[in-house]
Amino acid sequence: MIKVAILGASGYTAVEAIKILLRHPEAKIVAVTSRQEGSPPISTVHPSLVGRLELPLEDLSPEEVGTRADCVFSCLPHCASAELIPQVLAAGAKVIDFSADYRLDDAATYLEWYGHEHPDTGRLGTTVYGLPELFRKQISGATLVANPGCYATSAIVPLAPLVKSGLFETEDIIIDSKSGVSGAGRSPKLMTHFPECNESMSAYNVGRHRHTPEIEQMIRRHAGARPQVIFTPQLAPMDRGILSTIYIKPKGKVAEEDVMAILRQAYTGERFIRIVDHLPATKDTVDTNFCDVTARVVSGRVLLISCLDNLVKGAAGAAVQNFNCVFGLPESLGLL
Amino acid sequence: MIKVAILGASGYTAVEAIKILLRHPEAKIVAVTSRQEGSPPISTVHPSLVGRLELPLEDLSPEEVGTRADCVFSCLPHCASAELIPQVLAAGAKVIDFSADYRLDDAATYLEWYGHEHPDTGRLGTTVYGLPELFRKQISGATLVANPGCYATSAIVPLAPLVKSGLFETEDIIIDSKSGVSGAGRSPKLMTHFPECNESMSAYNVGRHRHTPEIEQMIRRHAGARPQVIFTPQLAPMDRGILSTIYIKPKGKVAEEDVMAILRQAYTGERFIRIVDHLPATKDTVDTNFCDVTARVVSGRVLLISCLDNLVKGAAGAAVQNFNCVFGLPESLGLL
Amino acid sequence: MIKVAILGASGYTAVEAIKILLRHPEAKIVAVTSRQEGSPPISTVHPSLVGRLELPLEDLSPEEVGTRADCVFSCLPHCASAELIPQVLAAGAKVIDFSADYRLDDAATYLEWYGHEHPDTGRLGTTVYGLPELFRKQISGATLVANPGCYATSAIVPLAPLVKSGLFETEDIIIDSKSGVSGAGRSPKLMTHFPECNESMSAYNVGRHRHTPEIEQMIRRHAGARPQVIFTPQLAPMDRGILSTIYIKPKGKVAEEDVMAILRQAYTGERFIRIVDHLPATKDTVDTNFCDVTARVVSGRVLLISCLDNLVKGAAGAAVQNFNCVFGLPESLGLL
Amino acid sequence: MIKVAILGASGYTAVEAIKILLRHPEAKIVAVTSRQEGSPPISTVHPSLVGRLELPLEDLSPEEVGTRADCVFSCLPHCASAELIPQVLAAGAKVIDFSADYRLDDAATYLEWYGHEHPDTGRLGTTVYGLPELFRKQISGATLVANPGCYATSAIVPLAPLVKSGLFETEDIIIDSKSGVSGAGRSPKLMTHFPECNESMSAYNVGRHRHTPEIEQMIRRHAGARPQVIFTPQLAPMDRGILSTIYIKPKGKVAEEDVMAILRQAYTGERFIRIVDHLPATKDTVDTNFCDVTARVVSGRVLLISCLDNLVKGAAGAAVQNFNCVFGLPESLGLL
């Protein structure tokens, strides 16, 4: 059994990771941390865990966590995560980082988008981006994995094979995404107060959402050219799910079946990427680690539509998939 | 035109009152208050009001409010309301109080349920309870009206005529209510954070919700006997609406048509109480000032089912109805 | 009082029109039709109308309807509408048609998109498109008005002034729209069965939604050039509201304030178009006749975001606005 | 591996059972039936199953099903189920019946509540009721198990130990239940059309819901007295979950801790019944096989509050729990 600890266990991605790990035959949760006083049972914060996980929420040092566990899932916010991870790694544990801290290659982009100096610049550019479908080899055996952003996964999965094919413009890629509210985290705010966002759709952070540079970096890596991406995140009145509608221009004429063939070929044998003929709904993927993708050609543009569960394939499921990959386990263990 | 001011205009009941008053042919909103700094336009806090009401949110003294307006709608929280209302009244304005402060007859019950001394005990017991269908005569011309609680209205409307008839036990009345989330107000809290309460039902404040003494007081007044009420409030994943399912025992045998006849007779000519044969849904009453009521007899018990919109008939609509009554206007003005 | 009849009164746009007309000081509903047997009271089909409208649902001939009423709102499906409207007009009534039948200029486009011959081709090309903000003069006094499609309004309102300015490409306009479920009508179908579409987002009719030619026709009319539009309709888990996110390319460089200025200037004095600085939410416009619009410039593209209530500004509210316009009444009568 | 077939696989309880069985280490799905023409892959009906279950939906005879499988889950409607099950049993398979057909002890009650003669009366009264927490011994090794109704489970779990204790009246038990919409099945109907039931709460089948005799039978069996039950089912705007609020009278005075102790003792060691101190939310149990229960004493009455997922502990999860029990497997296999 591989011993796992969860840093920052009071939020939604953490509880999702816990639920998946409780089903995982090779993982054992040994610690869950939080700055709650008095080490209350985790079920006081997550009542769905009553009778399922009896651990207390402890306020542990990173060294202690890294010593107790073989692998640490860091569900801390960005910046906070990179401040502790070096010490967790130093204590000998491997780390799957849910935050954005190790996703970008360079400190300048991080500073530009996150507004402060990166606390651990030395690991930028060498940490693997945790999308096993694209970077399986590098993840296998890694000590630190940067778990991708939920929107980013929904965009990169369909876009990567297309831009890699050389058949598409990398300028003027439009990503119009709609997300469930759990993506905004568990801290109560007016924007996510039920009577405010229920029965409503709205855009937010237009042109400045922090998953943008992550998407651009991955397109650049696959296309070999600096892309121009417009990313519009939108809040939908539902708990979970991301629907991304992506518009990309072919350099020449392209048929729907050709685009589908590129997608199918790229993800042949991939357990968690489903290239489907029908128009997928987020609900088809909710509570699963699947990402459903289809393509349409309309008026000379290619539409890519992708769906996933932001808390599973967009966070905790991807993390467990990375965990399996890091420890040489079957990649779908605990995830089906 | 009657000049109206709204005290505490940043919440849901206030914006609902504003929208109703904007349609009211005899009312003109002259001031809206809030402790926001810098007197921002009210539409910065309620974007639905852009182009509809151009007033700033001002931090006005109660004297100033009472001087500017002929009638003040106080949407302040309990206790805060009763601290300002005496001064508003002294300045010459009439007041419709949305808070619970003047609903109960005696200071001891207030202390017991609200946990602090009442700031204006002199007006307890003489202030009229603002249910025009029951207390029209006293409301007409009153200077201060205590607008009823939303749950309370949904319970008192169906119960009052029954207990008054003398045909029912006043012991063991069970009120099982389900409310939309707007009833919890506009301050973000974990309980009303979208991913917590969406797709979920739960009970809260079982046996200790503050609308209980208000319901008991009204039943006592109509029955002439001290009732025993069990009131269970429950949160439903919707913006608005209260469904109350009420169980009451007839002293002898009673037929469904007799119960319906009592209800129909009690509310003959009442524009806003609809005694219906079908099982009503909260949606039938949403965005209206109607309260729909029906009755069924099951295994010797009478079931009363009532529906209303907690922000309209349960708050702002009732307030405007009271306003009309106080100023001698047709009671449904602005409300159809 | 102008006598109004509603053809096809059992659906959502009809009941919305009824509720608005009940508040309208110059309109009186004199007939509501449906093929229901036995002429049941309309409140049996719409329980929210109990005590508000006591008319029976009658199965009347178009001649009878056109004789009884001064103005007929046709809420029939496309094709069915154009089969009856000529007879209603012949009987002397004016008509506001909610269906798509008279929106397109030519019979060939109608055949292409609607799959059958138009039953009344003689009126195509001469019937006015019912967007008063663009065609007020022609609507005024018209005998037949084609009420616009809900998606179409959300796209045309922000796009018309921009394409008219000549500063934007009319190729490669992308309209990514999200709609509440009431837009799909009231007939139960699997796609709109609650457990299927609740908590889910999905695209449908990609590249072939019937509002596309309507949008293209209006852009062409304002731009003087045949546009290329990609329109993606998507279903959002809410009752009402459309959020359209529109991507359009400026011919040269353009600043955000310039785009906003074009919008502001185009709609100066328009009561129901609100050009706002903030990112609007559909909820800001629900239950109102407002259409909220803003613009952003991102990576050289212009984003337009528009919100409206598909049943009000997208259907019944627009119809009443047209009605006011046709009969020379103040345009916002009954709509504020 | 135990071979399992699903009869009537196009509905919600069937797909839920399939998802659970796909995780079950000792079960293998060998057939899924439906009257669809042309034997389409099951994923055309349930797109969430793409890549997870590749079986066709076959229109098989009961003999064929009973021959292919060791155990058959019948997800057919009542009456249809009892018409086929005898032949499935004759072919040698064991059966878990999701329908109500074998839940009641006598044919007369069945006729009274279901409106037609029972097609297989010989098995009434001897078939075990599939609540393992109450009837584990009889389920173990049974050939036919009657899977309980979802509402029934939510009521019987908290009530059984109390009425068995002899400390409570069995008259005047009130069960006020709120259910998610998936409980109404997958056939589109107006009542469950999204814009009808979304954002609304309503009661239905008051005094005549078919789970009533099932609840009464179980209370009678535990109490030894014929109970009088009032059961009010209500539709809540959510996919899944039942919240039952139950009111029962103690014969004498009873303390909250005594009631909790009775519940705790009754379910000691039960993996899927969680007696909790807090007020549970349906969300705590969604997608799990747990039933959460708590008790409160208010004004001399005992309130029991129970939560479960109607599709899991209320249907498919309970079925798999029964399956495990029947085949001598650990009862929580595949369910954690």
Q: What is the domain partition of chain B in residue ranges?
A: 2-148+314-326, 150-310
Query: CB distance from D172 to chain B under 8 Å?
Result: yes
3-state secondary structure B32-79: EECCCCCCCEHHHHCHHHCCCCCCEEECCCHHHHHHHCCEEEECCCCC
Instruction: Quote the tokens at residue A306.
Output: 């992708």
| Helix (H) / strand (E) containing D145 | strand D144-146
pLDDT by residue (tens digit) across C287-336? 999 999 999 999 999 999 999 999 999 999 999 999 999 999 999 999 99
pTM passes above 0.90: yes
Locus of tokens 């009274």:
D112
Name chain A contacts of C305, Cβ cutoff 8 Å: 203, 206
User: Which one of A202, A302, A310 makes the best mutation probe of the C interface by having the most chain C beta carbons within 10 Å?
Assistant: A202
Instruction: Please report, rounded to a whole number, the percentage of residues in chain D having pLDDT higher than 70.
Output: 100
Give kind and range of the element (H or E) at residue D88: helix D80-90
Query: Using CB atoms, which chains have 3+ pairs under 8 A with C?
Result: A, B, D
Residue A95's DSSP bridge partners are: A72, A144
Is residue C16 a contact partner of residue C316, using CB atoms and an 8 Å limit? yes
Shortest Cα–Cα distance, C179 to chain D (Å): 12
A226 touches chain B (CB under 8 A): no
Q: Nearest residue of A to residue B200 by CA position?
A: A239
Chain C residues close to A196, C-beta within 8 Å: 283
DSSP tag of C240: S
For residue C215, give the 3-state DSSP assignment. Answer: helix
User: Residue B9 is which amino acid?
Assistant: A
Buried b / exposed e along D81-102 (16+ C-beta atoms within 10 A): bbebbbebbebebbbbbbbbbb
pLDDT at B16 > cutoff 90: yes
pLDDT in tens, B46-95: 999 999 999 999 999 999 999 999 999 999 999 999 999 999 999 999 99
* Residue B101, pLDDT score: 97
What integer is the mean pLDDT of D92-108? Answer: 97
CB distance B211 to B231 below 8 Å: yes
Active site residue ranges of B: 150
Give the pairing type, strands A229-235 and D229-235: unpaired
Which pLDDT belongs to residue B225? 85
The span from the CA of A313 to the CA of A288, in Å, is 7
3-state secondary structure of A5: strand
The predicted model gives B299-316 an average pLDDT of 97
Residue B11: pLDDT over 90: yes
Provide the residue-wise pLDDT of chain C in tens; the chain has 336 residues.
999 999 999 999 999 999 999 999 999 999 999 998 899 999 999 999 999 999 999 999 999 999 999 999 999 999 999 999 999 999 999 999 999 999 999 999 999 999 999 999 999 999 999 999 999 999 999 999 999 999 999 999 999 999 999 999 999 999 999 999 999 999 999 999 999 999 999 999 999 999 999 999 999 999 988 899 999 999 999 999 999 999 999 999 999 999 999 999 999 999 999 999 999 999 999 999 999 999 999 999 999 999 999 999 999 999 999 999 999 999 999 999
Task: State the average pLDDT over residues B209-238.
Answer: 95
Token digits for C172? 């490669």
C104 with C218: CB under 8 angstroms?
no
Nearest residue to A271 (alpha-carbon basis) of A210, A326, A217, A317 = A317
Contact C288 B199 (CB under 8 A): no
Average pLDDT over residues D140-164: 98
Give pLDDT tens digits along chain A (336 positions): 999 999 999 999 999 999 999 999 999 999 999 998 899 999 999 999 999 999 999 999 999 999 999 999 999 999 999 999 999 999 999 999 999 999 999 999 999 999 999 999 999 999 999 999 999 999 999 999 999 999 999 999 999 999 999 999 999 999 999 999 999 999 999 999 999 999 999 999 999 999 999 999 999 999 988 899 999 999 999 999 999 999 999 999 999 999 999 999 999 999 999 999 999 999 999 999 999 999 999 999 999 999 999 999 999 999 999 999 999 999 999 999
> In this complex, is the C-beta atom of B189 within 8 Å of any C-beta atom belonging to chain A?
yes
pLDDT at D75 over 90: yes
Catalytic residue among D150, D291, D307, D325: D150
Taking residue A160's Cβ as centre, other Cβ atoms within 10 Å add up to 21
Q: For the sheet containing A71-74, what is the strand order?
A: A57-58, A27-33, A2-7, A71-74, A94-97, A144-146, A128-129
- The helix/strand/coil state of B194 is helix
C193 and D197 within 8 Å at the Cβ level: the answer is no
Shortest alpha-carbon distance between residue B280 and chain D (Å) = 6
Question: In chain B, at which residue ranges do the beta strands (DSSP E only) sit?
Answer: 2-7, 27-33, 57-58, 71-74, 94-97, 128-129, 144-146, 173-179, 202-203, 229-235, 242-248, 273-275, 291-298, 301-308
Partner chains of A (3+ C-beta pairs under 8 Å): B, C, D
Instruction: Express as a percent the part of chain B with pLDDT over 70.
Output: 100
pLDDT at D225: 85
Which of chain A's residues have a Cβ under 8 Å away from the Cβ of C298?
A: 206-207, 230, 232
Is residue B232 less than 8 Å (CB to CB) from chain D?
A: yes
pLDDT tens, position by position, B149-200 = 999 999 999 999 999 999 999 999 999 999 999 999 999 999 999 999 999 9
Q: What is the dihedral sign for C-alpha A223, A226, A232, A238?
A: positive
With a threshold of 0.90, tell me whether the complex ipTM lies above it.
yes
Dihedral sign from CA coordinates of C17, C19, C22, C25: negative
**How many other CB atoms are found less than 10 A from the CB of residue A138?**
16
Of C240, C279, C299, the CB nearest to A204: C279
Nearest-CA residue of chain A relative to B193?
A193
User: A71, A75, A79, A150: which is the annotated catalytic residue?
Assistant: A150
Q: Which helix (H) or strand (E) holds D298?
A: strand D291-298
Is CATH 3.40.50.720 the right assignment for the domain spanning A2-148+314-326?
yes
Tell me, yes or no, if A279 comes closer than 8 A to chain D by beta carbon: no
Q: How far apart are CA B268 and CA B275, in angstroms?
A: 9
Give one DSSP letter per residue of A18-48, joined into a string.
Answer: HHHHHT-TTEEEEEEE---TT--BHHHH-GG
Residue D192: pLDDT band (50, 70, 90) is very high
Cβ contact A181–B194 (<8 Å): yes
A-to-D residue pairs, Cβ atoms closer than 8 angstroms: 42
pLDDT confidence bin for D242, thresholds 50/70/90? very high
Comparing alpha-carbon positions, the chain D residue that sits nearest to B209 is D298
Q: Does domain A150-310 have CATH number 3.30.360.10?
A: yes
Beta-strand runs (E) in C163-203: 173-179, 202-203
The reply to whether D269 touches chain A by the CB within 8 Å rule is no
| Residue C202 in tokens | 């999905």
Q: How far is CA D336 from CA A24, A202, C125, D333, in A?
A: 10, 37, 64, 7
From CA C264, how far away is CA C277, in angstroms rounded? Answer: 11
Q: What backbone phi and psi angles, to 5 degrees, belong to C218?
A: -70, -35
Catalytic residue among C150, C197, C291, C325: C150
